[in-house]
């Protein structure tokens, strides 16, 4: 006689119960399943509710009929799944009740007017928001369209990023702009402002524009206690962002980002080089022209030049710079860099005052005089770095994360989608709250 195979006592062998375990929804019965021609699975379910009370008067309702509603669910064993919920239609037994009839709801399965199950909505929010995957890629995985996934990401994501405890006390705040979109008819680039907690390296929010009223309104909305805790504000050499700080946070110490200060000096050097090149040669730089050959050596830090490199640079400047204007701009750039070699703020301020006075002398090239005036105008913000060593580096890092999200999405036209996706990826939401939404 063939031996009867014995299963462990805890193993459930009823196929219907096994299927219900795999579905994983509470108080739900599986009616059946269909495998479609495209290899997707259509799963039919119904709740175990047998009675319902009227929302208005509380009277026991009568069953009116059934309505099948389809939802996108998580894939099963590599196949996309469509969940068909056979919803009961109820009506109130009281003829005078204004409620009339209604369809049953269960948010554990899916939220009202949502095309995706609750668990699928949470999954796509993590996949798109936390992992940075594209909406189209996740939509192909689930066998649905782009809008179904994006709507779920916006719905669940907005609740996460707008949670009041997502960020708390901030001591150093950074502002910087990044390009959002170029839209018709004139294809003018629209910018947004990134508001960043420089100390924690966290993106707090994104607002339209480059400074201006939107940034001021965001800060005004945070309240006096939160704003009072901020001691420093980092920015590039932008008058618009300086105006935001002086208007809404007049007590903070403003810190000009060292990278942008040195970048300004380097850009002025390049302007002088290009102007002298045109004046002496009568054309833009060719590969045989001395100043064109020196362009990369001019931009390098002096201490990084080898002895041969420095000799080559000086000989090229001598050959292509008859009035010594490029040499003057190069020494000005190196003097600005040397400013950040000082550790004492008072010494750095005296150094900067003497440097700006020298650069604004009438015998200097116009580009160098412009650099000197800017250094003089931002003297306190530039030397504030020597006291606190805050920079806009974390703000630039957040902009890089935002640009990564933008590249994955192949650009945005909706600011709402842009903001939600960027804050989910770089805003450090508390992902442990996602199951409670």
- The verdict on whether omega for the bond into residue 185 sits within 30 degrees of 0, i.e. cis, is yes
Coil, strand, or helix at residue 191? Answer: strand
* H/E stretch holding 359: helix 345-359
Per-residue pLDDT, 13: 67
Residue 410: Cβ within 10 Å count: 8
Q: For residue 237, which phi and psi values (nearest 5 degrees)?
A: -80, 65
> What is the structure's pLDDT at 184?
80
pLDDT at residue 10, rounded to an integer = 65
Structure tokens that stand for 391 in this block: 């920079």
Give the pLDDT confidence score for residue 6 in this predicted structure: 61
- Positions of the chain with pLDDT lower than 50, given as ranges: none
Instruction: Please give the full DSSP string across 315-346, using - where no structure is assigned.
Output: HHHHHH-TTSHHHHHHHHHHHHHHHTT---HH
Confidence at residue 8, expressed as pLDDT on a 0 to 100 scale:
63
Cα dihedral 314/318/324/326 (nearest 10): -60
Predicted local distance difference test score (pLDDT) of residue 297 = 95
Give the pLDDT score at 100.
80
40 and 63 in contact (C-beta within 8 Å)? Answer: no
Three-state DSSP at 218 gives: helix
pLDDT of residue 9: 62
* pLDDT score of 90: 84
Only one residue has tokens 């300086």, namely 242
**How far out from the chain centre does Cα 228 lie?**
26
CA gyration radius, the chain: 32
**Which of 328, 332, 327, 346 shows the shortest CA–CA distance to 386?**
346
Pick from 192, 100, 142: which is nearest to 413 by CA?
192
Instruction: Measure the CA–CA gap between 134 and 432, rounded to whole angstroms.
Output: 22
Task: Give the SS3 label for residue 5.
Answer: coil
pLDDT (tens digit per residue) in 93-140: 887 787 888 888 888 898 888 899 999 999 999 999 999 999 999 999
Handedness of CA 414, 417, 423, 425 (dihedral sign): negative
């Amino acid at each position: 006689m063939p031996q009867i195979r014995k299963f462990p006592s805890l193993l459930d062998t009823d196929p219907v119960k096994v299927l219900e375990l795999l579905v994983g929804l509470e108080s739900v019965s599986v009616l059946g399943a269909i495998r479609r021609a495209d290899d997707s699975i259509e799963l039919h379910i119904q709740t175990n509710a047998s009675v319902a009370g009227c929302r208005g008067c509380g009277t026991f309702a009568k069953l009116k009929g059934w309505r099948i509603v389809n939802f996108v669910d998580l894939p099963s064993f590599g196949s996309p799944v469509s969940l068909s919920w056979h919803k009961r239609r109820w009506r109130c037994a009281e003829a005078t009740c204004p409620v009339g009839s209604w369809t049953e709801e269960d948010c554990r399965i899916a939220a009202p007017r949502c095309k995706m199950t609750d668990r699928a909505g949470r999954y796509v929010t993590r996949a798109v928001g936390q992992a940075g995957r594209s909406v189209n890629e996740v939509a192909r995985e689930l066998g649905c369209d782009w809008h179904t996934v994006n709507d779920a990401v916006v719905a669940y994501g907005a609740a996460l990023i707008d949670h009041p405890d997502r960020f708390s006390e901030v001591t150093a705040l950074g502002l910087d702009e990044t390009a959002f979109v170029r839209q018709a008819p004139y294809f003018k680039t629209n910018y947004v402002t990134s508001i960043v907690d420089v100390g924690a390296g966290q993106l707090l929010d994104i607002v339209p524009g480059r400074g201006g009223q939107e940034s001021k309104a965001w800060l005004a909305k945070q309240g006096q206690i939160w704003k009072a805790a901020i001691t420093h504000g980092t920015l590039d050499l932008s008058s618009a962002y300086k105006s935001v700080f002086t208007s809404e946070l007049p007590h903070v110490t403003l810190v000009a980002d060292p990278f942008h200060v040195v970048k300004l000096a380097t850009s002025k050097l390049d302007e002088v080089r290009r102007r002298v090149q045109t004046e002496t040669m009568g054309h833009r730089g060719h590969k045989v022209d001395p100043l064109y050959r020196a362009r990369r050596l001019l931009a390098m830090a002096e201490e990084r030049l080898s002895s041969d490199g420095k000799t080559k640079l000086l000989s090229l400047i001598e050959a292509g710079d008859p009035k010594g204007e490029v040499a003057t701009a190069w020494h000005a750039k190196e003097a600005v860099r040397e400013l950040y070699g000082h550790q004492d703020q008072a010494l750095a301020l005296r150094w900067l005052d003497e440097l700006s006075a020298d650069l604004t002398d009438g015998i200097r090239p116009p580009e160098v005089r412009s650099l000197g005036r800017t250094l003089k105008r931002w003297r306190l913000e530039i030397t504030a770095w020597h006291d606190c060593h805050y920079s806009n580096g974390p703000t630039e890092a957040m902009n890089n994360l935002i640009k990564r999200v933008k590249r994955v999405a192949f650009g945005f036209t909706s600011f709402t989608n842009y903001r939600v996706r960027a804050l989910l990826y770089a805003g450090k939401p508390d992902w442990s709250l996602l199951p409670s939404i």
